[in-house]
């Protein structure tokens, strides 16, 4: 603007005449110090990495849970022990298949359908693990009150590993629910 010239506001009347903004702002500094709002805008959370870490931990914990349970023949005689082994084997297989498909990029379904299937299967697996380790914990509590101390210690270790496997699968279900919500809302 030249000296003495009247101020004319810039108008944005054409669709292509709008200023372009970057989708993710970098941290702006003011005298060498980054402002908090700019730092918060520049942070991104990699949910794929978080989901991969949760799946790997679910694999490790479910292997530990079903190997401890399968090692005790007395525990396998009860229906809750068999259920706990079956649920942890399913958690192991599902998490392993998920990791293989995620790392290789293979997919059996299109991305919108795949998000729904992941969410539903994560929820089902989390509820299955919750119910089986809950039933097994009741049997372990009864065994600890009796004379079965080896059964008690192995069962408690198995149930605790199943609980941590449940926590990993439940956290994965939360992440897959967030990914599904992002896909539905097109964020």
Average pLDDT, the chain: 78
CA distance 121 to 94: 9
Confidence of residue 24 (pLDDT cuts 50, 70, 90): very low
Phi then psi for residue 33, to 5 deg, are: -115, 125
Tens digit of each residue's pLDDT (9 = 90 or more) over 89-145: 999 999 999 898 888 877 777 777 888 988 999 999 999 999 998 888 888 888 788
Using the predicted structure, report yes or no on whether residue 60 has a pLDDT greater than 80.
yes
Using the predicted structure, report yes or no on whether residue 12 has a pLDDT greater than 50.
no
Within 13 A of 26's CA, how many CA atoms are on the CB side?
Answer: 2
**Three-state SS letters, the chain:** CCCCCCCCCCCCCCHHHCCCCCCCCCCCEECCEECHHHHHHHCCCCHHHHHHHHHHHHHHHHHHHHHHHHHCHHHHCCHHHHHHHHHHHHHHHHHHHHHHHHHHCCCCCCHHHHHHHHHHHHHHHHHHHHHHHHHHHHHHHHHHHCCCHHHHHHHHHHHHHHHHHHHHHHHHHHHHHHHHHHHHHCC
Mean predicted confidence (pLDDT) in 12-41: 49
More confident residue, 38 or 171: 171
CA distance 19 to 9: 14
More confident residue, 186 or 169: 169
CA distance 72 to 148: 12
- pLDDT of the residue at 95: 92
Nearest of 49, 50, 51, 57 to residue 166 by alpha carbon? 57
Mean predicted confidence (pLDDT) in 57-85: 87
More confident residue, 20 or 64: 64
Using the predicted structure, report yes or no on whether residue 7 has a pLDDT greater than 60.
no
Mean predicted confidence (pLDDT) in 67-87: 84
CA distance 35 to 157: 48
- pTM for this model (two decimals): 0.71
Are 99 and 105 in contact, with CB atoms under 8 Å apart? no
- pLDDT of the residue at 61: 94
């Amino acid at each position: 603007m030249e000296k003495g010239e009247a101020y004319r506001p810039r108008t944005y009347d054409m669709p292509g005449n709008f200023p372009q903004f970057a989708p993710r702002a970098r941290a702006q500094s003011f005298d060498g110090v980054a402002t908090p709002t700019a730092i918060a805008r520049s942070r991104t959370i990699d949910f794929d990495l978080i989901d991969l870490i949760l799946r790997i931990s679910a694999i490790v914990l479910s292997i530990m849970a079903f190997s401890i349970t399968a090692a005790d023949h007395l525990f396998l005689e009860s229906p809750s022990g068999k259920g706990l082994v079956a649920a942890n084997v399913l958690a192991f297989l599902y998490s392993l298949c998920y990791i293989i498909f995620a790392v290789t990029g293979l997919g059996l379904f299109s991305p919108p359908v795949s998000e729904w299937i992941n969410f539903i299967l994560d929820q089902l697996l989390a509820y299955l693990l919750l119910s089986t380790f809950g039933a097994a914990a009741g049997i372990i509590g009864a065994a600890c009150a009796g004379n079965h101390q080896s059964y008690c210690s192995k069962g408690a270790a198995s149930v605790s590993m199943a609980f941590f496997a449940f926590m990993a699968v439940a956290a994965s279900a939360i992440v897959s629910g967030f990914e599904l919500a992002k896909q539905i809302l097109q964020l």
